[in-house]
Amino acid sequence: TGCDTGFGHALAKELSDRGVQVFAGVLDEHGSGAQELKKHGSHRLEVLQLDVTDHSQVDRALRHITAAQLGEGGLWGLVNNAGVLCCLADAEILPFTTFRRCMEVNYLSAVYLCQVFLPLLRRSKGRIVNVTSMGGEVPFCFFSAYGASKAALGCFSRVLRMELAAWGVKVVVIQPAGFRTNIFKGCEESKKKILQNLPSVICRDYGETYVCSMQDCLSKVGQQSPEDLRPVLNDMCHALMAPSPKARYTPGQMAWLLPLLYHLCPTVISDKLLKGHKFVDCEPAGLSPKAGSELTRT
């Protein structure tokens, strides 16, 4: 799933080039990412319209894949890669719709896809590969909606791994650090929506300067993330093809070390460690007398 851009797009090409039959689910089959996959030049790569939050599209994809020439072997792998970030802000500032959207796309859709495709996966004794995030393991400020949804997917995956072991189906988690994908796309539009809908008391206490600075800095973080997706692709391919895959892969800088430090250190130390990763260069208006002018509603 989520093959329009990023990890899913690159993985669909990689697996096709390795001789694997790939069904690449995309949010928009007419979009540039889908068109690029169609032009990739392999009969083994088939693009499917698949909004993971639309159960009718998921069911249609199931019927199509079931009707394909899979034989008695079933479907070997399901990669739940589709994900959204929506926008980043303090949990008090984030619109409730952002929490709902992150849970629907990042967690609940993966649960439904697993339930729908498991009969085919059990037939092949295949693999489920769920893409979580370091943000689901470590509580980064501003990532409450995204991190909570990825944490839910991580817990679900661990339970599913134990439940499906008796069926011979392996469940693997890919927990990458930050990479440069399109996940930060739309931050500017999200900032405008936040500013337009903030309650007056929140406007007064946080201020426009703080909200704008937060989103601007986060956009820069996306640009500073590694552009080479190869570490993630290598782990995804190993998770799908190795006879004995790991239960969890952690590609990227600090992807295994930071969670380890967070869990081993006392809370007072881990909190200071994480607060040191500041994304903004100013304080909320209510906490800093020197902050810029407060947001005024018109």
Q: How far apart are CA 201 and CA 32, in angstroms?
A: 42
pLDDT tens digits, the chain, 298 residues: what are they?
999 999 999 999 999 999 999 999 999 999 999 999 999 877 899 999 999 999 999 999 999 999 986 777 789 999 999 999 888 889 999 999 999 999 999 999 999 999 999 999 999 999 999 999 999 999 998 899 999 999 999 999 999 999 999 999 999 999 999 887 776 665 556 666 777 788 889 888 988 888 877 766 666 666 666 788 999 999 999 999 999 999 999 999 889 999 999 999 999 999 988 886 666 778 888 987 554 444 444 4
Residue 80 and residue 129 in contact, taking contact as beta carbons nearer than 8 Å: yes
Q: What are phi and psi of 131, to 5 degrees?
A: -90, 110
pLDDT at position 169 is: 98
Residue 31 and residue 55 in contact, taking contact as beta carbons nearer than 8 Å: no
Domains, the chain, in order of start with CATH, read 51-275 (3.40.50.720)
pLDDT at position 216 is: 67
pLDDT at position 280 is: 72
What count of residues does the chain have? 298
Residue 21 and residue 77 in contact, taking contact as beta carbons nearer than 8 Å: no
The answer to whether the pTM exceeds 0.75 is yes
Which of the residues 107, 112, 146, 262 is marked catalytic? 146
pLDDT at position 296 is: 47
pLDDT at position 223 is: 66
Q: How far apart are CA 295 and CA 202, in angstroms?
A: 9
Which residue bears the tokens 């809370």? 267
pLDDT at position 292 is: 44
Strands 45-49 and 77-80, sheet pairing:
unpaired
Asked if 107 is an active-site residue, the reply is no
